[in-house]
Amino acid sequence: MEVLLAKANHAFTDCFEIAETLRAMANDTEEQVQVEKNEESYLIQLAGRTTPKGLHCLSIRLTTEYLLLQPEERQFPNQHKLQDLDFYHYAVFSDEILACAVVVNSTTASAKEPEKIVFHVVTDSLNLPAISMWFLLNPPGKATIDVQSIENFEWLSTEYSSALKEQKSNDPRYTSALSHLRFYLADIFPALDKIVLFDHDVVVQRDLTGLWSVNLNGKVHAAVETCHESEASFHSMHLFMNFLDQFSAKRLNASVCTWAFELHLICVSKAYFPGVLLQGLKRPLWKTESLPLGWITFYNQTVALEKSWHAFGLGHNSGLNQGDIEHAAVLHYDGIMKPWLEIGIAEYKGYWSKHVQYDHPYLQECNIHE
C-alpha cells in the first residue's frame, strides 16, 4: 500500500488542480448537452408546424383540379341528409387534407351502418378547394359528406376575429378560428340536435353507434375524463387557469377532473357560449389555447365517457400500453409528433397510415409514401 501511494503521489503531484479541471470539463459537457436538448426541442416544434413538401404538392395539385371544375361538378351528393336527424352526424374542423381523409375513412370503415353517417368538414377558404377535390375524387363509400369554408359563416363577427388576434401566441394552432369553432356549434349546425366532434389527428377503430345512446342527463357534453397524473393526456386545471382572478376562483374548482376534446358528443342546441371567450380575452383567465376555454365552457355540463372510448398520447408518448391502444375506440395523436409528419412516432404510425391511399396517383406524384 505504501508503495502504491508513493507511486500515486509521484504520478499526480497536484490532485486539486486535476479535480478542478475535471469539474470544469463536466460543467462544460452539461451545458453543451442542455444546448443540444434545447436545439432538438426547437427543431421538433418547427417540424411540427411546417407543412411537408409532399403535402404542399398535394394541396396545389388538388386545388388546380378543383378550379377547373364547373360549379355543378363541385357539388357533393345527398345534400338533403345534412340536416336529417335520423342520421349520425360527425364533424371535423381542419386544414389538413390527409388528416381529414383518415378521420372520415377510419370512421366509415369501422361503422356497422356507414350509410347512416353524415360528415361535416369545415376548413378555411385556402384549403377548401383541395379538401373538396379530395372527397369528390374519393367519396366516403355509402356515407355522406359536406365541406364548408369558415369564411362563409357571416355570423362569425369581426369582433370575434379581432379578439383572436389579440391572444399572446405565435402558434397558429391556438389563434386559428378553426380551433374555436367547437364553441359555436349552434350557429354552424342550427338544425341538428347532437353531433360528435373529432379533432383531425384521430383514428377511429370501432363502431361509434353506442355514443349516440349516451344519456346526457340534461347536460351539454360527453367526453373522456383525464383525472390521474399517470394518464398520457393528464392536464391539471390549476396549471392552465388563473385562479387569482375572481372570475375563475368563484366559478371553478381547481381539483376537479378535466376532460379531452378530441372525441366528444355535444348537444348542439345548448352548446353556445361565445361570451366566455370574449370575457377571457379581456383579462388573463387561462393560458393561450382552446383547451382551458373548453373546460370553462362545459364546466359542470359534462358526462364522463368510459375510458375505452379514447386512447391518448400517440403524438408525444412512445411508452403507451399496447392493450389500451388496441382496445380503444378512438386513438388520438395529441402532441407535436403527428402521424403525417416524419417526426411521428414510428410504432404508432401504422394505425393511421392504413387508412391512407398511398397508391393514389396524386400521392405518388407528390412522393407521399408510407
Band of residue 37 on the pLDDT scale cut at 50, 70, 90:
confident
State whether 61 and 173 are in the same domain: yes
What is the C-alpha separation between 127 and 39, in angstroms, rounded? 32
State whether 6 and 68 are in the same domain: no
**Which comes out higher in pLDDT, residue 178 or 325?**
325
What is the C-alpha separation between 255 and 226, in angstroms, rounded? 12
- Whether the predicted pLDDT of 5 surpasses 90: no
**CATH number (domain holding residue 135):** 3.90.550.10
Q: What percent of the chain has pLDDT over 90?
A: 44
pLDDT at 158: 56
For the stretch 66-105, pLDDT in tens is 999 999 999 999 999 999 999 999 999 999 999 999 999 9
Band of residue 40 on the pLDDT scale cut at 50, 70, 90:
low
- Whether the predicted pLDDT of 19 surpasses 90: no
Which domain covers residue 111, as residue numbers?
Answer: 53-366
SS (H, E, C) 5-31: HHHHHHHCCCHHHHHHHHHHHHHHHHH
What is the C-alpha separation between 259 and 231, in angstroms, rounded? 11
What is the C-alpha separation between 355 and 340, in angstroms, rounded? 12
State whether 19 and 99 are in the same domain: no
Lowest mean pLDDT among 230-239, 316-325, 328-337: 230-239
CB contact set of 264 (below 8 Å; sequence gap of 6+): 196, 197, 221, 222, 223
CB contact set of 208 (below 8 Å; sequence gap of 6+): 88, 107, 110, 111, 196, 329, 330
What is the C-alpha separation between 179 and 173, in angstroms, rounded? 7
Lowest mean pLDDT among 143-152, 257-266, 281-290: 281-290
Longest dimension (CA), the chain: 99
For the stretch 326-366, pLDDT in tens is 999 999 998 889 999 988 999 999 999 999 999 999 999 99
Lowest mean pLDDT among 126-130, 158-162, 194-198, 255-259: 158-162
Domain boundary, last residue among 11, 33, 48: 48
pLDDT at 239: 61
Contact by Cβ (8 Å): 343, 322: no
State whether 173 and 122 are in the same domain: yes
217, with CB counted inside 10 A (0-12, 13-18, 19+), is: exposed
Most confident of 21-25, 194-198, 219-223, 255-259: 194-198
State whether 30 and 170 are in the same domain: no
pTM metric for this prediction: 0.79
State whether 15 and 126 are in the same domain: no
State whether 40 and 65 are in the same domain: no
State whether 271 and 311 are in the same domain: yes
State whether 25 and 154 are in the same domain: no
Which residue type sits at 236? Answer: S
CB contact set of 297 (below 8 Å; sequence gap of 6+): 183, 273, 276
Q: CA quadruple 59, 315, 144, 365: dihedral positive or negative?
A: positive
State whether 207 and 265 are in the same domain: yes
What is the C-alpha separation between 202 and 310, in angstroms, rounded? 10
State whether 329 and 235 are in the same domain: yes
State whether 32 and 59 are in the same domain: no
Q: What percent of the chain has pLDDT over 70?
A: 73
**What is the number of domains present in the chain?**
2
